[in-house]
Structure 1
Amino acid sequence: MGRRPFPPRVQRLGEYFTLTEPHGAAWRPMAELDDDAVWRGLVAETRRAIAIYADVEPAAVPARVAASSLHLSTASRLLSPVIGAFAVGAGVPSLTADVLRWRTAGHAVHFGAAAPQWHDTLDSRAAAEFIDASLVTSVLAPIVDRLQAVTALSTTVMWGNLMSAANGAVTVMGLSDSELVCTGRTLVRSMLKLPRFEGAATVTGSTFRRRSCCLFYLSPGAGLCGDCVLRDPEASH
């Protein structure tokens, strides 16, 4: 364990893999994100953004679709840096509520952290367990609980979103550095063995398929995601 910034190889993977150093009053403590009114506002902003993109009125966008879209984006911004760091062999940063900060950018939530503590491991099982004990327990699980209370979005959908975000991070970083994909997929498989994520998705070879739907197809003009359970009639949902 030791404090250090994210290595350049992770930062080069893209915006979602980099946590900004939080300077200034715009960056707020995570305790202020754990608030019903904040999430209601974020869901409303996401609903309006989807409506503008689809050229419809916000009322035409189901609130749960907006909530799921917001949740998936938020999960991606939190999980991508962790998965990218492990894939490049840098270990796993301890991203907990006490070191993270947040701010809004339009309808999205962005996160920042100064040099976090790191768990130096190259073992995917140990990495998955550390991610569960740190980021998931401290930040992601409370967000699931808060959004469920505010929007009645299914927790099953949201735990599926988390694994979809993790797998999506592997796909995205593979576009920049294909050498990282194998290690990233190994970590995803290890995460799926954890009790929280059991049954959230299946991995067959290089094919990832979630076992719940993110609801995006209910948005006006939308289709099915690449990992959607609805693409596989044999999967349960």
Structure 2
Amino acid sequence: MNALRQAPAPVIAEALEDIAALGSFFSIELGGAGCGWHPVEETYARGVADLITATADRYDTDEKRIGASIVQLGHAARLWSPVLACTVVHGIVPDLSRLLRADDGPALRLPAAPDGWYAPGFPQLTGVLYELVMTRHLDELAAGLRVKVAPGLLAGNAASALVEAARAILAVRADLREPLAELVGELLNTGRLAGTGKVIGPDLGFRRRSCCLYYRVPSGVKCEDCSLAG
């Protein structure tokens, strides 16, 4: 992170507030009362147990690994979406080290004066984003899970969330196709994301090499990017 230049808190906040309009997964709350929230690291340490149980109940399944997969996929989307959008749309990388999670759900929050950096185009940017999302958050979530879930499945979920975030941005900012495709391509060749799947076509379609297991819930179907899809 030392290679990045610190950005002023108002600039970071403005970028986060702007990209929140792209959808719920892009939204991170800023500031507010201290009650009702806790450091997201506490969630990881507890194995995301509350969200997994609530999710398994909601989808009427006794397979906790399915709940764990759906929760991890959703959390990956809530991390990748604002990070990717701020980076590509505003040239800002938000710092997620003071991230909070709502006590009663998956919503995320940062301080009213968030930290972050400018993101000029240089080779280290891919590694910075990978460390920010994968190493500091999704790897910690995976390490804390009390439910056995295949590492390849979790990595595939992270890749799927990344590409879906890029597709959502592309849908409203077609002019960003080239930088989005380049950055996503580089990330998909980095660390645990390498080998998780491939981008198909100019609209950033994706075919993953694993399955999130959603099709196994009573009302479930195979996702568009699923390895099991025909």
Q: 1:124, CA displacement in angstroms?
A: 7.3
TM-score where L is the length of structure 2: 0.85
Deviation string for 1:125-178 (max 9, x for gaps)?
Answer: 53321112223222121001112xx11011110111011001111122333333
Deviation string for 1:35-81 (max 9, x for gaps)?
Answer: 33x62222110011112xxxxxx43xx22111111111111111110
Deviation string for 1:4-32 (max 9, x for gaps)?
Answer: 21425323212221210142211212332
- Which whole-Å CA distance do the structure 1 matches of 2:229 and 2:122 have between them? 29
Which deviates further from its counterpart, 180-189 or 222-231?
180-189
SS in 2 for 1:209: strand
The code of the aligned residue for 1:2 comes to: A
Aligned to 2:21: 12
Of the three residues 125, 142, 147, the one matched with 2:140 is 142
Distance 1:125 1:80, change over 3 A: farther
Q: 1:87, CA displacement in angstroms?
A: 1.9
The code of the aligned residue for 1:71 comes to: Q
SS in 2 for 1:112: strand
Distance 1:126 1:91, change over 3 A: farther
Deviation string for 1:103-139 (max 9, x for gaps)?
Answer: 144xx41111123332322437533211122232221
SS in 2 for 1:229: coil
- Which whole-Å CA distance do the structure 1 matches of 2:152 and 2:68 have between them? 13
CA RMSD of aligned residues (A): 2.1
Pair 1:210 & 2:215 matched: no
Distance 1:26 1:3, change over 3 A: farther
- 5+ unaligned residues in a row in structure 2: which ranges? 1-5
Q: 1:196, CA displacement in angstroms?
A: 2.1
Of the three residues 113, 125, 130, the one matched with 2:110 is 113
- Which whole-Å CA distance do the structure 1 matches of 2:116 and 2:109 have between them? 16
1:1-237 superposed matches below 5 A: 1-4=6-9, 5-7=13-15, 8-24=17-33, 25-36=35-46, 39-51=48-60, 58-59=61-62, 62-96=63-97, 99-105=98-104, 108-114=105-111, 115-123=113-121, 125-147=123-145, 150-206=146-202, 207-231=205-229
Q: Is the 8 A contact 1:20 1:113 kept in 2?
A: yes
Q: 1:222, CA displacement in angstroms?
A: 1.7
Q: Segments of 4+ in structure 1 off by > 4 A? A: none
Q: State how many pairs are aligned.
A: 217
TM-score where L is the length of structure 1: 0.82
Q: Is the 8 A contact 1:125 1:190 kept in 2?
A: no
- Which whole-Å CA distance do the structure 1 matches of 2:181 and 2:122 have between them? 10
Q: Is the 8 A contact 2:170 2:176 kept in 1?
A: yes
The code of the aligned residue for 1:154 comes to: A
SS in 2 for 1:151: coil
